[in-house]
């Protein structure tokens, strides 16, 4: 380690911190989050929601009745966050979470429409099909990356558009609901829906919680998780000592796609009970945000996912009652990422002012 050299910008000098007490890191993080949220509140105020009204809406989201909706919304968000975080752990930028969700939803709906399996196990079949659908859509990119060194950021993003158009193709074509003639699939049968299992908790949340536990075991305790840490810390060394880089990458990417596919299934089977045109809208960046804020830790993903669900439900409320477009949620998410990412500058650098 070389000694840090100071640099002067006029009256400001900058030098590298070796490390920073964790409470100070938390303080910087909290401070930047507060600034980000303050900017968001300001934008909302300009858009016509006074802060006091916003506070009462937010309080409304957290009461018992809306809490149920929030928990239903949290399940797909947590799953998408898991999908993003495990892929990001090995530096695979899976930004195709929306496309994988769509394919998860399509595969699940296919099981419902073609009535595959007896009614008693139909839901399980749908979930498995959704996981396979998400996996399929991301493994295409993993193959292209490994075989042709195709940049996965662009490829996954572009495949979102392809998946979206494929969904339109189905919903305006063979899968169009004959009863309503709307571009949506016909409604799932009662035994094909994720229902409440008591205390207002939806069974989709159970899937998400199991996903969190499995992912936590996978990245922290399993052999593959150890390989993942090795690969992200030092790929050259990992290769030399014989870590199966390619097999681990494929496994991790497939797991990431499966999570996103399951998110698609949970979303369609617990909320609308049918495929709609826009059921996956806004989930890519939510996944990135959740992974980023949780530092790719599956256990933290559960907490952050719940908080983003609060944001989603608030956004829906504002959309219904104040005609604020739902893209507001995306703005707030981006501001939070920008604020938190910027705060890392203060964690890594020390600034002195010379008087």
Partner 1 sequence: MSDFLINWIANAPVTAVPYALAALGLIVSERSGVLNLTAEGLMLVGALAGAGTSLTLGGHPVVALVVAMVSAGVVSLLFAGMVVVLRVNQVIAGLAVVFFCQGLTGLIGTLANWQNKQITGLPSLVLWPFSEIPMIGRLFFMQDPIVYLTILIFFTVNFVLFRTMIGLRIRAVGENPAAADAAGISVALHRILAIVSGSCLIGLAGGYISVVSVKLWVTGMTGGRGWIAVALVVFARWAPWPALWGALLFGCIEAVIPRIAAAGIRVPQYLMLMTPYLATIAVMVWVGAKQRAGGAEPGALGQPHVREERR
Residues of this chain that bind partner 1 (CB under 8 A): 1-2, 4-7, 14-16, 43, 47-48, 93, 95, 144, 147-151, 153-155, 157-162, 165-166, 168-169, 172-173, 285, 288, 292, 324-325, 327-335, 337-338, 341-342, 344-345, 348-349
- Closest approach of partner 1 to the CB of residue 175, in Å: 12
Alpha carbon distance 120, 173 (integer Å): 29
- Closest approach of partner 1 to the CB of residue 291, in Å: 10
Query: Which is closer to partner 1, CB of 152 or CB of 192?
Result: 152
- Closest approach of partner 1 to the CB of residue 191, in Å: 31
Query: Which is closer to partner 1, CB of 60 or CB of 325?
Result: 325
* Cross-strand pairs, 349: 16
Query: Which is closer to partner 1, CB of 227 or CB of 292?
Result: 292
Taking each helix axis from N to C terminus, what angle separates 327-348 and 283-293, rounded to the nearest 10 degrees? 30
Cα separation values, 29 from 296, 335, 336, 339, Å? 16, 14, 11, 9
- Closest approach of partner 1 to the CB of residue 113, in Å: 18
Query: Which is closer to partner 1, CB of 8 or CB of 24?
Result: 8
For residue 110, what are its two tokens? 């296919």
Query: Which is closer to partner 1, CB of 112 or CB of 286?
Result: 286
Q: For residue 295, what are the contacts with CB-CB under 8 A and spacing of at least 6? A: none
- Closest approach of partner 1 to the CB of residue 259, in Å: 19
3-state secondary structure of 117: coil
- Closest approach of partner 1 to the CB of residue 179, in Å: 22
3-state secondary structure of 325: coil
- Closest approach of partner 1 to the CB of residue 162, in Å: 5
- By the 10 Å C-beta count (0-12 exposed, 13-18 middle, 19+ buried), 175 is classed as buried
- By the 10 Å C-beta count (0-12 exposed, 13-18 middle, 19+ buried), 165 is classed as exposed
CB count in 10 Å sphere of residue 134: 34
Query: Which is closer to partner 1, CB of 221 or CB of 341?
Result: 341
For residue 282, what are its two tokens? 């806004």
- Closest approach of partner 1 to the CB of residue 36, in Å: 11
Query: Which is closer to partner 1, CB of 67 or CB of 150?
Result: 150
Nearest to 128 by CA among 32, 241, 261, 248: 261
Query: Which is closer to partner 1, CB of 188 or CB of 292?
Result: 292
CB 224 within 8 A of CB 251: yes
């Amino acid at each position: 380690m070389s000694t840090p050299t100071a640099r002067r910008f006029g009256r400001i000098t900058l030098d590298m911190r070796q490390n920073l007490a964790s409470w100070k890191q938390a303080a910087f993080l909290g401070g930047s989050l507060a600034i980000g949220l303050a900017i968001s509140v300001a934008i909302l105020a300009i858009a016509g929601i006074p802060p006091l009204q916003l506070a009462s809406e937010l309080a409304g989201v957290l009461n018992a009745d809306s809490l149920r909706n929030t928990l239903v919304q949290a399940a797909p968000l947590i799953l998408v966050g898991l999908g993003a975080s495990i892929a990001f752990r090995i530096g695979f930028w899976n930004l195709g979470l929306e496309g994988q969700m769509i394919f998860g939803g399509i595969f699940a709906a296919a099981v419902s429409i073609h009535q595959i399996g007896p009614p008693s196990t139909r839901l399980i079949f749908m979930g498995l099909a959704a996981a396979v659908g998400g996996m399929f859509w991301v493994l295409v990119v993993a193959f292209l990356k490994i075989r042709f060194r195709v940049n996965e950021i662009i490829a996954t993003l572009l495949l979102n558009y392809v998946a979206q158009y494929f969904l339109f193709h189905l919903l305006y074509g063979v899968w169009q609901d004959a009863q309503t003639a709307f571009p949506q699939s016909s409604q799932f049968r009662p035994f094909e829906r994720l229902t409440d299992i008591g205390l207002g908790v939806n069974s989709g949340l159970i899937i998400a919680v199991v996903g969190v536990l499995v992912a936590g075991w996978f990245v922290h305790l399993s052999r593959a998780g150890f390989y993942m840490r090795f690969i992200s810390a030092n790929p050259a060394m990992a290769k030399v000592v014989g870590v199966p880089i390619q097999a681990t990458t494929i496994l991790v990417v497939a797991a990431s796609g499966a999570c996103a596919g399951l998110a698609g299934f949970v979303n369609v089977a617990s909320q609308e009970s049918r495929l709609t045109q826009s059921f996956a809208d806004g989930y890519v960046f939510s996944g990135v945000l959740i992974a980023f804020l949780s530092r790719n830790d599956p256990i933290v993903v559960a907490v952050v996912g719940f908080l983003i669900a609060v944001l989603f439900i608030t956004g829906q409320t504002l959309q219904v009652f104040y005609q604020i477009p739902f893209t507001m949620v995306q703005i707030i998410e981006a501001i939070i990422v920008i604020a938190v990412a910027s705060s890392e500058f203060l964690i890594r650098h020390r600034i002195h002012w010379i008087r």
